[in-house]
Amino acid sequence: MSGSVVAVGGYLPLLRIERKLLAKELAWSGLAMPRAGWRGVAGWDEDPLTMAVEAARGLAAAETAPAALRFASTSAYFTDRAQSGIALDALALPRGVRTADLANSRRAGTTALLDALLAGTDEVVAAAEKRPTQAGSAAQAAYGDGAAAVRTGTTGGARLVGHASLTHDLVDRYTSREHPTPYAYEERFVRDVAVADILLPAVRAALAAAGIEPAQIAHAACAEPVGGCWKALAGKLKLTAPNHCEAVSEKAGDLGAAHALYGLTFALAAASPGDHVLLIGFGGGADALVFAVDGPVAGAAEAAAQLDEGQPLTSVSRFLSLVGEVALDWGMRAEFEQKAQATALDRVGHEMIGFIGGRDSTGNVQFPKSAYPVNPALTEPETLADVRLAELEARVVSVTADRLNFSPDPPFDFGLVQFENGARVLMEMVDRPAAGFAVGDRVRMRLRIKSQNARLGFRTYFWKAAPVARPRLGDA
């Protein structure tokens, strides 16, 4: 028995840069790159793991834990450390939940989703990318950073009614250890082979399995290897459905393994009961999934709305620094290393990355926990009850914008935030609003990179305070 899509989620970083700004900066070179639309730009302390957690938060916060958590990415930071395991703790899920990491293909997200749907179990699939690019390449402007997530189950708003997968080692682009930025082949060659030999047979097989005609597809989310593939595919099959991945590409960029899943949130938000939705993931072949929409899917409208939120990034040099294409001399204050100890991570890592504080016998909440409560009225050790702070809002009690402490994207904002349950925590603040942070601002918690050791290739994670509301793109 195949499963259904129960809920979806998405996350896009706050910053966006207009492609025409990048093209204008490189106009002297004559290099061709996309000029229309926007590109999502992750903060220095964001990576595929943090963005996947953000996309999956609403899906994992249900009363019942999922049976499994799957993480898909081609740009995950660790190559021998399960990102899904870190995400499990960040989402405060039981350690008995099965986890799996999928990589090495841009269709890893749809493959993970299809496996979960075919199993017919309650699972969370999260996909995210923050892919490095070469300055001046078309990918530098076309790619974007972001994440999408899907929760599956036996009953939901969109039932899987047909599917097909086709494996074909088309080297349309590749990355490797020796060439970590994408090497792309000629677009016409890619388009011709992708449409004729991969997309057409996969979609035809999926439609046949669903028992429907192409004209019955009302909405689609197709991750194209190059522009024009959907138009060619639709023309040959006489498909009239809009490809909602095009809106994601225009406003945020190509999100790699997360692209088709983010497009699916748009398709489900636009669909009505009785519609059929086509999902296509591409990379080393294709996955084609056909859904019958029975009702609304939780989270679809909220994820789609994020596409119109954001803060314009107007400095090309800041963009190049954030994406790691220039290395600035930050001076002596940047000359320090933070080495995380595996023993400390094993001892307190679950509560730290889960942002789990403690409540004492009088109701006082503190973070972190301690053997002796910080409440001055208590003088004996206690076992504190768990209180997860990650999902709670707080307000800024004090704030400092500091340019003395090193930050790869200054200024370094930090201060005290107070939760409604009384807990006060000294925290870093991120996604700085145009006017800066102010006492009294409402903030929410976002998982970010806390420390990174470039020499040892290691990083740790913790939560930071960010504004509850985001500006509409172009309003800031």
| 3 state DSSP class of 465 | strand
pLDDT at 252 over 60: yes
Confidence tier at 124 by pLDDT (50, 70, 90):
very high
Residue 437: inside a domain: yes
How many domains, in total, are found in the chain?
A: 2
Could you list the residue range(s) of the whole structural domain that residue 432 is in? 342-467
Can you tell me whether residue 475 is helix, strand or coil? coil
Residue 333 lies in a domain: no
Same domain, 95 and 135: yes
Each residue's pLDDT tens digit, 345-384: 888 889 999 999 999 999 999 999 999 999 998 999 999 9
> C-alpha distances in angstroms, 443 versus 340, 376, 437, 446, 462?
28, 28, 10, 10, 15
Assess whether the previous peptide bond of 225 is cis (omega < 30° from 0).
no
State both tokens at 400.
Answer: 């400092």
Mean pLDDT over 11-24 rounds to 96
Whole-number Å distance between alpha carbons of 116 and 69: 10
Q: Clarify whether residues 310 and 359 are in a common domain.
A: no
Q: Are residues 276 and 355 in the same domain?
A: no
Among candidate residues 294, 322, 350, the one where a domain is terminated: 322
d(CA 145, CA 423): 33
Query: Tokens representing 425?
Result: 């925590």
Asked if 151 and 208 sit in the same domain, the reply is: yes
74 and 155 in a common domain: yes
One-letter amino acid of 305: A
* Pairing outcome for strands 394-396 and 365-366: unpaired
Q: Among 88, 90, 83, 48, which residue's Cα sits nearest to residue 68?
A: 88
> Cα 116–122–127 angle (5° rounding)?
50
Residue length of the chain: 476
Per-residue pLDDT of 376-421, as tens digits, reads: 989 999 999 999 999 999 999 999 999 888 899 999 999 999 999 9
Is the separation of the CB atoms in 314 and 181 below 8 Å? no
Q: What is the mean pLDDT of residues 220-236?
A: 97
**Rounded to an integer, what distance in angstroms lies between the CA atom of residue 145 and that of residue 259?**
10
Q: Are residues 283 and 395 in the same domain?
A: no
Largest pairwise CA distance in the chain: 76
Tell whether 217 and 301 lie within a shared domain: yes
337 domain-assigned: no
For residues 400 and 42, what is the distance between their CA atoms, to the nearest angstrom?
A: 23
52-89 pLDDT per residue, tens: 999 999 998 777 999 999 999 999 999 999 999 999 99
The dihedral through the CA atoms of 271, 273, 275, 277 has a sign that is: positive
Residues 299 and 365 in one domain: no
* Angstrom distance (rounded) from CA 409 to CA 401: 12
Report the candidate in 137, 233, 151 with the shortest Cα–Cα distance to residue 183.
137
Helix, strand, coil fractions of the chain, as percent rounded to 5: 30, 30, 40
Looking at the structure, tell me whether residues 357 and 308 fall in a common domain: no
